[in-house]
């Protein structure tokens, strides 16, 4: 069995691919202009950040990046396509002949190209009186299309592959979960000789279902000595079956020509100037090797956030792997959604400080967790007078307790256990900012010094 | 600069000659710096814009074309929109869904095309500047037939923002006027880079004004020219040599022969995609039956509202970019374009500019036009196509009269070297005995 995928992902640019319209228009036809409506006389100008994202992905898949690239017109008539041609890439796309290392198995990438999304058709009205309306907000939103060779061997593998690939893509171009849900896939699958294409399947789950359905359908046909014909099908999401698509819709001759309104772009130089960050999957692998964590934990970390991985590595450098890993996988990852919003340099160093004290035994695990929780959960107090871990504050709290307990020095001289009174007061007034061990030490030191 | 001309006079002229598709009320004309018109394929907020096609009837664009906008900002008053062949597809301005402009020197004859209305307005309205558009000769041809200067700048010199596309890699916005000095003065206003058209270019600046030291005449360009036109052209060449002191050489430019087929392939390939957008959905003509399948709807609207020549070019252009034919036609044509550019470059090592007649005949009568086959008409462009295909700036210079009808010659310079053309045109204007058309109103 051979499966190849054509993956379409919306690029998370702020403006559209060829005009300045925003990409987050909500009310129908609220983010439109003469260019993305295909009005006569309006023309495109390329959004550089879309080009850069395309190049980042071409680099991610180790593609051959040509010296120069350009755009082409793919002409077909469809009501959601404003100009009745789509600006896409045909010759010299941003990347060709790449590869994706899927858990040790190389999946070849045939090409990576950029194109514009068409608008969206909505059917409205009561049954029998339906009509179609077109929303052009999506018209001109940049897409990247990634085409693999037929190197995948079953539907589950295809899904895992795409999950991994999306992890890498998400980090490389800053894709949000929302963009990720709108991933559209054309699946090519052959069980025997002839391949069948299932067009325009939305999301990972539907893709796996469509592929599974095709495996069963094609296998049955082959068993009963029928021939699988080469054709284009579509996936019916509700009935979860694939159906033959109207031939006319997908098998036209698109008559590609160069897009004469846009220039030729020297992309090799641009591609070389783009910095390469470590990708999530490479990092997961490194985390396992460097810190001896399991693959499951490394994936949990990268899937939560690359920022969490950064924090972990900083903690590990200061406080060792074991303590840091314990705190990160426990209290930190479960509070991550809150932490990521407030993680500044101060908080980062406070977290690292807690890890350090936990690792040298000055606080125990329960106290470390409590200290950390206090850092995340009560921002008001965090930034107030009782900033955590400041020895001057502990000193002040001890002094305050001393003045509140006249005669404590005499009592202490008689019985050392009198120190407990002060210790109790300081613990209460510092609300967990310091470990009991620190407080005990400080109080005893103060009492030894005398009034 | 603006000569005192009244709107009522312009309206009278338009009634007789039909050069305007849409004529304004001339508000602001008195005391204005200059007046101008725009070919009807340039968008205007205050006039409908149809490019001579029924499929855009009633269309009012939401923005002004860059060239129109610039001229208005410079104090020009837009008189109206000039008639043209539908989408620029033609040589005689007869392929229009609307009125056909009549030649200022003989109303039985064509103005040429496709900027026919523009040339007619330039010839008849004193001090007027007409914005024209050329893809394969649509400025030179009508300028020659109407006896005016017709200037086509280097491809990319003028922003195409607001131009209804014919062939985007060939379309150039230019100027027509009875006086070359008017063009030279106003051209810098519309020239330069515009971020709304990424192919527009601000650099290099318009060349220093000097007339060429030498011109070359390709031997191919005068072959088969009718005797009277040949005589008129030779006379002009003598003036150039003797009175302007320009050295004249003969050149061999065999690529001229291939320019024409390459041009028609590129132009129609691009046109067939540009015209795909006209389907009766968001602007222009509407279909009657909204409930049918979209394929049928588009087919119905397009069959009903496109003229015959438009359909012919869509078919041609769709054919030449089909799978299996694309390599043989479209890609080959792109190579030929490069070869033509290189041939011009070789010529410019020997001479400063290339000179040819503009059209192989004088403006034909409408009954003669009706008898011409599509192929005969296409072949009439064989001298205006090479500079257009290569994106070289060129200027039609009125150079004589045959049977009372104007004859033009075409001067072609290297990319970005418009300055030498305009200087030569102005110099020529001082020597040439211009004959104004007689108007009986």
Q: What is the DSSP string of B187-209?
A: HHHHBS-BTTBTT----SPPPP-
Range of the domain at A314: 280-383
As a whole number, the mean pLDDT across chain B is 95
Dihedral, A161, A166, A169, A170 alpha carbons, nearest 10: -160
Q: How far is A79 from chain B (nearest CA, A)?
A: 7
Model pLDDT for residues B114-157, shown as the tens digit of each residue: 999 999 999 999 999 999 999 999 999 999 999 999 999 999 99
Distance, CA of B65 to chain centre: 17
| Shared domain check, A435 and A338 | no
| Shared domain check, A326 and A377 | yes
Which residues does A431 contact at the CB level (< 8 Å), separation at least 6?
Answer: A374, A381, A386
**In B, which residues are within 8 Å of A258 by CB distance?**
169, 334
Q: What are phi and psi of A27, to 5 degrees?
A: -60, 135
What is the rounded distance in angstroms from the CA atom of residue B377 to the CA atom of residue B91? 7
Q: A231 lies in a domain?
A: no
| Shared domain check, A127 and A12 | yes
Domain end residue (candidates: A333, A362, A383): A383
| Shared domain check, A144 and A10 | yes
Q: Is the pLDDT of residue A59 over 70?
A: yes
Q: Could you confirm whether B138 is annotated as catalytic?
A: yes
Q: A177 lies in a domain?
A: yes
Model pLDDT for residues A150-198, shown as the tens digit of each residue: 999 999 999 999 999 999 999 999 888 766 667 999 999 999 888 999 9
Q: What are phi and psi of A320, to 5 degrees?
A: 85, 160
Q: A13 lies in a domain?
A: yes
| Shared domain check, A348 and A440 | no
Asked if B307 and B51 touch (Cβ cutoff 8 Å), the reply is no
**In B, which residues are within 8 Å of A262 by CB distance?**
198-199
Asked if A85 and A122 touch (Cβ cutoff 8 Å), the reply is no
The segment(s) of chain B belonging to CATH 3.90.1300.10 are: 7-250+351-431
Q: Is the pLDDT of residue B181 over 50?
A: yes
Q: Do B270 and A38 touch (CB under 8 A)?
A: no
| Shared domain check, A163 and A66 | yes
What is the rounded distance in angstroms from the CA atom of residue B299 to the CA atom of residue B303? 6
pLDDT score for A331: 85
**In DSSP terms, which residues pair with B404 in a beta bridge?**
none
Structure tokens at A261: 């309104």
Q: Could you tell me if A247 lies within 8 Å of chain B, comparing CB atoms? A: no
Domain end residue (candidates: A360, A383, A406): A383
**In DSSP terms, which residues pair with B23 in a beta bridge?**
B80
- Cβ-nearest to A263 among B43, B195, B198: B198
Q: Find the closest chain B residue to A87 by CA distance.
A: B273
Q: A332 lies in a domain?
A: yes
**In B, which residues are within 8 Å of A252 by CB distance?**
none
Q: Could you tell me if A42 lies within 8 Å of chain B, comparing CB atoms? A: yes
Distance, CA of B284 to chain centre: 24
Which CATH number, 3.90.1300.10, 3.30.930.10, 3.40.710.10, 3.90.170.10, labels domain B7-250+351-431? Answer: 3.90.1300.10
Q: Do B294 and A79 touch (CB under 8 A)?
A: yes
Per the structure, the count of domains in chain A is 3
Q: How many CA atoms lie within 13 A of B58 on its CB side?
A: 7
pTM assigned to the model:
0.87
Q: A238 lies in a domain?
A: no
| Shared domain check, A252 and A112 | yes
| Shared domain check, A303 and A353 | yes
pLDDT score for A378: 56
Q: Do A260 and B281 touch (CB under 8 A)?
A: no
Domain end residue (candidates: A353, A383, A413): A383
Q: Could you confirm whether B37 is annotated as catalytic?
A: no
pLDDT score for A423: 85
Q: A65 lies in a domain?
A: yes
> Longest C-alpha distance within chain A, in Å?
102
Structure tokens at B72: 């208005």
Q: Is the pLDDT of residue A420 over 90?
A: no
Model pLDDT for residues A198-256, shown as the tens digit of each residue: 999 999 999 999 999 999 999 999 999 988 888 899 999 999 999 998 665 555 689 99
| Shared domain check, A163 and A300 | no
């Amino acid at each position: 069995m051979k499966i190849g995928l054509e993956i379409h992902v919306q690029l998370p640019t702020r403006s559209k691919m060829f005009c300045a319209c925003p990409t987050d228009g909500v009310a129908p036809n609220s983010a439109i202009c003469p260019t993305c409506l295909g009005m006569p006389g309006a023309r495109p100008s390329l959004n550089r950040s879309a080009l850069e994202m395309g190049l980042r992905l071409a680099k991610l898949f180790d593609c051959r990046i040509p010296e120069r690239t350009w755009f082409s017109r793919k002409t077909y008539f469809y009501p959601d396509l404003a100009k009745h041609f789509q600006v896409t890439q045909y010759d010299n796309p941003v990347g060709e002949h790449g590869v994706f290392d899927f858990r040790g198995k190389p999946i070849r990438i045939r090409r990576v190209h950029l194109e514009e999304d068409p608008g969206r058709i909505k059917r409205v009205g009561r049954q029998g009186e339906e009509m179609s309306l077109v929303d052009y907000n999506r018209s001109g939103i940049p897409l990247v299309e990634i085409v693999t060779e037929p190197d995948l061997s079953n539907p589950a593998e295809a899904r895992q592959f795409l999950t991994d690939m999306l992890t890498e893509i998400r980090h490389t171009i800053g894709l949000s979960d929302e963009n990720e849900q709108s991933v559209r896939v054309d699946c090519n699958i052959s069980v025997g000789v002839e391949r069948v294409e299932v067009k325009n399947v939305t999301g990972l789950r539907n893709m796996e279902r469509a592929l599974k359905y095709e495996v069963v359908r094609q296998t049955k046909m082959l068993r009963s000595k029928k021939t699988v014909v080469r054709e284009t099908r579509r996936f019916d999401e509700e009935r979860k079956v694939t159906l033959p698509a109207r031939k006319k819709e997908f098998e036209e001759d698109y008559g590609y020509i160069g897009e004469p309104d846009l220039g030729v772009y020297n992309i090799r130089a641009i591609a070389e100037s783009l910095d390469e960050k470590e990708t999530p999957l490479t990092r997961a692998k490194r985390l396992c090797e460097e810190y001896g964590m399991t693959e499951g934990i490394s994936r949990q970390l990268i899937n939560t956030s690359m920022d969490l991985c950064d924090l972990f590595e900083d903690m590990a450098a200061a406080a060792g792997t074991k303590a840091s890993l314990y705190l990160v996988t426990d209290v930190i990852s479960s509070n991550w959604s809150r932490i990521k919003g407030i993680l500044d340099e101060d908080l980062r160093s406070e977290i690292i400080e807690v890890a350090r004290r936990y690792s040298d035994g000055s606080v125990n695990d329960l106290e470390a967790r409590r200290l950390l929780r206090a850092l995340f959960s009560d921002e008001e107090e965090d930034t107030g007078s009782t900033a955590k871990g400041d020895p001057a504050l502990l000193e002040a709290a001890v002094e305050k307790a001393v003045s509140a307990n006249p005669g404590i020095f005499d009592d202490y001289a008689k019985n050392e256990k009198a120190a407990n009174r002060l210790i109790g007061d300081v613990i209460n007034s510092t609300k967990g900012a310091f470990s009991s061990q620190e407080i005990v030490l400080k109080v005893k030191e103060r009492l030894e010094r005398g009034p | 600069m603006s000569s005192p001309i009244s709107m009522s006079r312009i309206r009278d002229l338009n009634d007789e000659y039909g050069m305007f598709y849409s004529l304004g009320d001339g508000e602001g004309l008195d005391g204005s710096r200059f007046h101008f018109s725009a070919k009807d394929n340039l968008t205007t907020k205050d006039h409908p814009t149809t490019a001579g096609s029924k499929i855009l009837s009633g269309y009012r664009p939401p923005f002004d074309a860059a060239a129109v906008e610039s001229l208005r900002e410079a104090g020009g008053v837009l008189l109206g929109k000039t008639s043209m062949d539908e989408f620029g597809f033609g040589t005689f301005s007869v392929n229009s869904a609307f009125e056909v402009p009549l030649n200022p020197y003989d109303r039985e004859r064509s103005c040429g095309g496709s900027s026919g209305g523009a040339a007619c307005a330039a010839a008849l309205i004193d001090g007027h500047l007409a914005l024209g558009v050329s893809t394969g000769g649509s400025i030179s041809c009508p300028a020659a037939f109407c006896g005016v200067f017709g200037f086509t700048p280097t491809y990319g010199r003028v922003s195409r923002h607001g131009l209804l596309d014919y062939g985007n890699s060939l379309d150039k916005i230019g100027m027509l006027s009875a006086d070359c000095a008017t063009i030279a003065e106003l051209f810098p206003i519309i020239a330069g880079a515009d971020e709304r058209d990424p192919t527009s270019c601000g650099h290099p600046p318009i060349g220093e004004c000097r007339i060429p030291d030498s011109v070359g005449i390709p031997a191919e360009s005068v072959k088969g020219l009718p005797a009277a036109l040949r005589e008129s052209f030779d006379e002009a060449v003598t003036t150039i040599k003797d009175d302007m002191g320009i050295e004249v050489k003969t050149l061999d430019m065999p690529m001229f022969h291939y320019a024409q087929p390459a041009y028609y392939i590129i132009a129609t390939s691009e046109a067939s995609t540009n015209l795909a957008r006209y389907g009766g959905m968001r602007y222009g003509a509407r279909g009657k039956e909204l409930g049918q399948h979209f394929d049928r709807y588009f087919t119905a609207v397009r069959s009903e509202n496109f003229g015959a020549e438009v359909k012919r070019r869509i078919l041609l252009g769709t054919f030449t970019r089909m799978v299996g034919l694309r390599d043989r036609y479209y890609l080959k044509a792109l190579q030929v374009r490069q070869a033509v550019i290189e041939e011009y470059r070789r010529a410019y090592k020997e001479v400063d500019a290339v000179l040819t007649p503009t059209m192989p005949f004088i403006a034909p009568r409408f009954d003669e036009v009706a008898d011409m086959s599509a192929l005969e008409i296409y072949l009439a462009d064989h001298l205006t196509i090479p500079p257009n295909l290569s994106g070289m700036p060129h200027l039609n210079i009125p150079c004589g009269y045959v049977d009372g009808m104007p004859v033009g010659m075409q001067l072609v310079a290297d990319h970005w070297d418009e300055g030498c053309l305009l200087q030569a045109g102005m110099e020529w204007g001082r020597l040439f005995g211009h004959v104004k058309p007689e108007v009986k109103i």
